[in-house]
Amino acid sequence: MSELLFYLDIFGTIVFALSGALMAGRYKLDPFGVVVLASVTAVGGGTIRDLILQTPVFWVEKPYYLYVILITSLLTIIFVRQPKRIPKRFLLIADALGLALFAVVGAQKSLALGAPMPVAIVLGTVTGVAGGMIRDVLCNVIPMILRQEIYALAAMIGGGLFAVLSYFGWSENNAIIVSVTAALLLRLAAIYWRVSLPAFQIVEKENNP
Amino acid sequence: MSELLFYLDIFGTIVFALSGALMAGRYKLDPFGVVVLASVTAVGGGTIRDLILQTPVFWVEKPYYLYVILITSLLTIIFVRQPKRIPKRFLLIADALGLALFAVVGAQKSLALGAPMPVAIVLGTVTGVAGGMIRDVLCNVIPMILRQEIYALAAMIGGGLFAVLSYFGWSENNAIIVSVTAALLLRLAAIYWRVSLPAFQIVEKENNP
Amino acid sequence: MSELLFYLDIFGTIVFALSGALMAGRYKLDPFGVVVLASVTAVGGGTIRDLILQTPVFWVEKPYYLYVILITSLLTIIFVRQPKRIPKRFLLIADALGLALFAVVGAQKSLALGAPMPVAIVLGTVTGVAGGMIRDVLCNVIPMILRQEIYALAAMIGGGLFAVLSYFGWSENNAIIVSVTAALLLRLAAIYWRVSLPAFQIVEKENNP
């Protein structure tokens, strides 16, 4: 794993842990509940990716990820409390950062382990979206991916662009920077201007026998 | 894998992807969200089965399953939109087909990999119900298995009957046809006539200290 | 696995299966739905633990766990129906017992398989809380871990105390008894007196662009 990738992976862990801790603050969890929700959000996607790739789970091999999450949770509890009221958008932006970073990191790891390109794109998407999905499902909130603003597309762009650029021989670092930036800008733009793609909507009628 | 089994597995993937895409249409997802929900529904059960069996996950080995889901999602978006209003029962029937097919396919794969019979029945049930469960949980809907109409039983009948018939030396194809048909008819009958088994119901009283 | 550990593991399976069956009774599931919900609750945590440890899943290797769950479900249906009304606290207490037992059993298995201490504490917590989480998520109920009473802490105390006592050379049986008791008393006290830790609560304000 290149140095850039390592720092981005840690940064993704921090922002997803932050998003989990912020969600925990909405639900008035105690500090240990905060740590659990932050952990699930931060490692959920990568854990599923590693299980599916049948490679050792990253935080079992490198337990320092757990300390990163612990420290992020504690700092969130200490510092986010100070301003009393934080903008609602904080959680969305932390989630967007994590989404973009993990989608690319996930695709990179999958390709490095020999997965074919479509599988790598799917596993990148899984890495990017699954942690936040579990966070939202546990909190009984409709997951962000099921709301209208561009979310699934941003994750797929992240992993997909990385896979394509790597395929065309870009250096890993350049491919990472471009694909993370593309996914992040797309998602942030969707949040900021509330952009959505045209929805697929069906109307169902009851049809009694 | 016999040819029959292969076609049924693909057909199960198609109908579960369809059920996920239809559910996505209820929630007005954008096309990429439709693909995600269709994928989760179609591969969720088999992925959990393969992880538990510690065998390579089927769609990582054979990525064409992903193309099948992609094409199904696109066709659903294109064609289901045309009639404007579709019967509500469409999703239920697609789910029933997938349930019956995957319960038998899951039990077959488990037995073929050497799992003992009770484990094969459980993993057949998991294969049949887990994808739809994840679909429903993500959409914040009570999973079908927790509603009264015969659902868990249909999945167990599918896998169980296949396991028993194989044990008694039936040819694989005959065992598949009989057990898929039994599970499907049972579930469709339950949907059509709204049949339920007698429920286990408890009444709880508050008991303050 | 020591004899004590074996019996506690079976007992944990029974009480979690009971908690799943009681929840099924609230939702008026049919007997097969009861078995499914009891199974998911009883094996969910241990299955995720074994997958993450990449060791064979316990109930695939030892299918008698499935019979224990089946019998517990049937006995629950038969006997819990008799008194017509049971105290609401039954489910909470069964869940607390399972939580304490599985957190310690999970930490022990992780350490025995060579996991470092922080990973063992996390996997103990996962073993203790995941089954109940899945049960609650399937029933569209906010998981107990996200309510205020001490829950995550109890699970961490269970696994953490066991890991620490083992590290300091205590005999396995003594370490098990002390850590299960500590986790259980903590959780039961929190249920009984409705004790909570101080919550982390944030106030968010809308921040339109």
Per the CB < 8 Å rule, is A86 touching C145? no
- Judge whether residue A192 has pLDDT over 80: yes
pLDDT at A87: 79
pLDDT at B203: 75
Assigned domain for B44 exists: yes
- Judge whether residue C76 has pLDDT over 50: yes
**Within chain A, what is the greatest distance between any pair of CA atoms?**
63
| Structural tokens at position B126 | 């998991």
Assigned domain for A198 exists: no
Residue A65 binned pLDDT confidence (cut-offs 50, 70, 90):
very high
**From B26, B32, B63, residue closest to A119, measured CB to CB:** B63
Least confident of B121-130, B185-194, C196-205: C196-205
pLDDT at B16: 95
Average pLDDT (C26-51) is 93
Of all residues in chain A, the one with the smallest CA distance to B28 is: A201
pLDDT at C199: 77
Of all residues in chain C, the one with the smallest CA distance to A23 is: C202
Measured between CB atoms, does A2 come within 8 Å of chain B?
no
Assigned domain for C18 exists: yes
Residues C20-32 pLDDT 10s: 999 998 888 888 9
Chain C residues with beta carbon closer than 8 angstroms to that of B204? 26, 85-88, 90-91
Residue C108 to residue C104: CA distance in whole angstroms:
6
Average pLDDT (C119-136) is 95
- Judge whether residue B208 has pLDDT over 60: no
Least confident of A66-70, C6-10, C141-145: C141-145
Of all residues in chain C, the one with the smallest CA distance to B123 is: C60
The mean predicted confidence, pLDDT, of chain C is 90
In chain B, % of residues over pLDDT 90? 69
Residues C45-74 as b or e (16 or more Cβ within 10 Å = b): bbbbbbbbbeeebbbbeebebbebbeebbe
Measured between CB atoms, does C190 come within 8 Å of chain B?
no
Assigned domain for A200 exists: no
Q: Of A102, A103, A108, which is closest to residue A42 (Cα–Cα)?
A: A102
**Best residue in B18, B26, B29 for a mutation probing chain A (most A CBs within 10 Å):** B29
CB pairs under 8 A between B and C: 108
Assigned domain for B198 exists: no
pLDDT at A148: 64
The answer to whether the CB of C190 falls within 8 A of the CB of C152 is no
pLDDT at C206: 62
CB pairs under 8 A between A and C: 108
pLDDT at C209: 43
pLDDT at B209: 43
Average pLDDT (B87-93) is 84
Residue B135 binned pLDDT confidence (cut-offs 50, 70, 90):
very high
Question: How far, in whole angstroms, is CA C80 from its chain's centroid?
Answer: 21
Average pLDDT (C157-182) is 95
Per the CB < 8 Å rule, is B146 touching C138? yes
pLDDT at A26: 86
Assigned domain for B52 exists: yes
DSSP 8-state class, residue A145: G
The sign of the torsion formed by the CA atoms of A139, A143, A147, A153 equals positive
Q: Of C34, C199, C54, C49, which is closest to residue C129 (Cα–Cα)?
A: C49
- Judge whether residue B83 has pLDDT over 70: no
Average pLDDT (B157-175) is 94
**From A52, A201, A209, residue closest to B28, measured CB to CB:** A201
Secondary structure (DSSP) of B17-58: HHHHHHHHHHTT--HHHHHHHHHHHHHHHHHHHHHHHTS--H
What burial class does residue B82 get, using C-beta atoms within 10 Å of its C-beta: 0-12 exposed, 13-18 middle, 19+ buried? exposed
Residue A9 binned pLDDT confidence (cut-offs 50, 70, 90):
very high
Per the CB < 8 Å rule, is B51 touching A53? no
Residue C75 binned pLDDT confidence (cut-offs 50, 70, 90):
very high
A115 contact partners, CB below 8 Å, separation of at least 6 = A53, A123, B60
pLDDT at C82: 65
Residue B48 to residue C122: CA distance in whole angstroms:
21
In chain B, % of residues over pLDDT 70? 95
pLDDT at C148: 63
Measured between CB atoms, does A156 come within 8 Å of chain B?
yes
Average pLDDT (A6-19) is 94
Per the CB < 8 Å rule, is A87 touching C207? yes
Rg (Cα) of chain A, in Å, rounded? 17
Assigned domain for B12 exists: yes
Residue C4 to residue A204: CA distance in whole angstroms:
56
In chain C, % of residues over pLDDT 70? 95
Measured between CB atoms, does B133 come within 8 Å of chain C?
yes
Distances (CA, A) of A97 to A2, A28, B45, B167, C164: 20, 24, 30, 53, 37
Rounded to 5°, the CA angle B135-B145-C130 comes to 70
pLDDT at B68: 97
Question: How far, in whole angstroms, is CA C16 from its chain's centroid?
Answer: 6
Measured between CB atoms, does A195 come within 8 Å of chain B?
no
Of all residues in chain A, the one with the smallest CA distance to B192 is: A209
Shortest Cα–Cα distance, A143 to chain C (Å): 13
Measured between CB atoms, does C188 come within 8 Å of chain B?
no
Which of the other chains make 3 or more beta carbon contacts under 8 angstroms with chain A? Answer: B, C
pLDDT at A1: 66
What burial class does residue A46 get, using C-beta atoms within 10 Å of its C-beta: 0-12 exposed, 13-18 middle, 19+ buried? buried
Per the CB < 8 Å rule, is A36 touching C129? yes
Per the CB < 8 Å rule, is C85 touching B137? no
Shortest Cα–Cα distance, B204 to chain A (Å): 24
Q: Within a 10 A sphere around the Cβ of C91, how many other Cβ atoms?
A: 23
The sign of the torsion formed by the CA atoms of A54, B32, B35, C140 equals positive
Question: Total domain count for chain B?
Answer: 1
**Whole domain around residue A36: which residue ranges?**
3-193
Q: Of B155, B146, B149, B147, which is closest to residue B49 (Cα–Cα)?
A: B155
A114: alpha, beta or left? (left if phi > 0; alpha if psi -120 to 50): left
Residue A40 to residue C146: CA distance in whole angstroms:
13
Residue C172 binned pLDDT confidence (cut-offs 50, 70, 90):
very high
SS3 string, chain C, reads: CCHHHHHHHHHHHHHHHHHHHHHHHHCCCCHHHHHHHHHHHHHHHHHHHHHHHCCCCHHHHCCHHHHHHHHHHHHHHHHHHCCCEEECHHHHHHHHHHHHHHHHHHHHHHHHCCCCHHHHHHHHHHHHHHHHHHHHHHCCCCCHHHCCECCHHHHHHHHHHHHHHHHCCCCHHHHHHHHHHHHHHHHHHHHHCCCECCCCCCEEECCCC
Residue B77 to residue A16: CA distance in whole angstroms:
32
Chain C residues with beta carbon closer than 8 angstroms to that of A192? 209
Average pLDDT (B195-209) is 70
A75 contact partners, CB below 8 Å, separation of at least 6 = none
- Judge whether residue B84 has pLDDT over 80: no
The answer to whether the CB of B10 falls within 8 A of the CB of B97 is no
pLDDT at C124: 96
Decide which of A79 and A171 is more confident.
A171
- Judge whether residue A4 has pLDDT over 60: yes
Assigned domain for A199 exists: no
pLDDT at A134: 94
Residue A209 binned pLDDT confidence (cut-offs 50, 70, 90):
very low
- Judge whether residue A145 has pLDDT over 90: no
Per the CB < 8 Å rule, is B77 touching A118? no
Per the CB < 8 Å rule, is C30 touching B153? yes
Q: Of B124, B32, B106, which is closest to residue B69 (Cα–Cα)?
A: B32
Average pLDDT (A18-33) is 90
**From B31, B66, B85, residue closest to A200, measured CB to CB:** B31
